[in-house]
Amino acid sequence: MQEQASPVESPAATEPPSNEKRLAVWEKPIAVVLLSLVFPGLGQVVNREPRKGLVFAASGPILSLLSARAGLYLTFRGLVGSLAVQAAWHLWICVDAFRGARRRRNPSDSRSHSLAVLGSCGVLALGVTLFASTNYFLHLATNFKAFKNVSNSFCPTLCEGERVVVDLNAFTTHPPKRGDAISFDFQGKHGPVYIKRIAGIEGDVISESNGEVLVNGSPYTPSGVTRNCGQAPVAVATDRDEPRFDPVRVPLGSFFVIGDNSANSYDSRIQGFGFVTRDQIVGKLAYIYWSPERSRIGCAIE
């Protein structure tokens, strides 16, 4: 009886996948992750999930708007918390795109959306991301602006090198009042931004006696809340005397401002500086978001 020979296995059947094939398996997942990092939702569109891609593309700007409307950016904890949530959500969008690219999809399902539909959704996802980076959207979605302090005229409340968040909408519902720490454009919209405290409002009589500032005859005393928050950076001491000036009445629509480091401050007491008008005010100081002294980070400014 003739013995039947067993089939010989082909070398190609047992040959392990080549490095090129292994890399090809990861090309699309890596590509959609990179796309999602720059343009959230675009990775899902590439994975032929256009509806999900559009939802993810719009979710980031919506979260920014909701955070702004809730006032989360105006406290240090709120800023950190909202940014952490948005970063986590962006990471999840990337993970979802990666999983979608790795998932084995049904061929009939992969052809369920035409290239025209996918292309249109991709353009919309790109458009949403680009729109969210425009100044118009940033004005809507961010009710704050960050500044770096470049002098010690407001120290120890805010010292040189510290960075502060300014509430741009603080005076939309009520006018600035005495004691408010404000930032303002000294020479109009394109001039340097100064940080001072309002000592007098319209109608107030500001005078001085032996270097002490008087507001309607009472001593002017700036807030000391931020002074007691953390360890302020060491400022260079000055031997200057407090400025002397003649009594003035604050005109209509104007404010008399003084730096908290009054002996080293160029402000309304100095001839040539003058009053600050309402249209020059940028906003109200909210909190310190960075300082060389870590204990000062997050300090609210009052």
* Domains assigned to the chain: 17-141 (no CATH), 144-296 (2.10.109.10)
Q: 10 Å Cβ neighbour count for 161?
A: 15
pLDDT at 232: 79
Q: 10 Å Cβ neighbour count for 228?
A: 9
How many angstroms separate the Cα of 20 from the Cα of each of 23, 46, 127, 166, 262?
5, 22, 35, 54, 70
Q: How many CA atoms lie within 13 A of 55 on its CB side?
A: 9
**How does pLDDT run across 170-189, given as a tens digit for each residue?**
998 899 999 999 999 987 66
Mean pLDDT of the chain: 86
Determine contact, residues 59/82, Cβ cutoff 8 Å.
Answer: no
pLDDT at 138: 80
Residue 154, pLDDT > 70, answer: yes
pTM exceeding 0.75: yes
pLDDT at 225: 60
Give 102 or 199, the one with higher predicted confidence.
199
pLDDT at 26: 79
pLDDT at 53: 93
pLDDT at 213: 93
256 forms bridges with which residues in the sheet?
200
**How does pLDDT run across 157-174, given as a tens digit for each residue?**
999 999 999 999 999 889
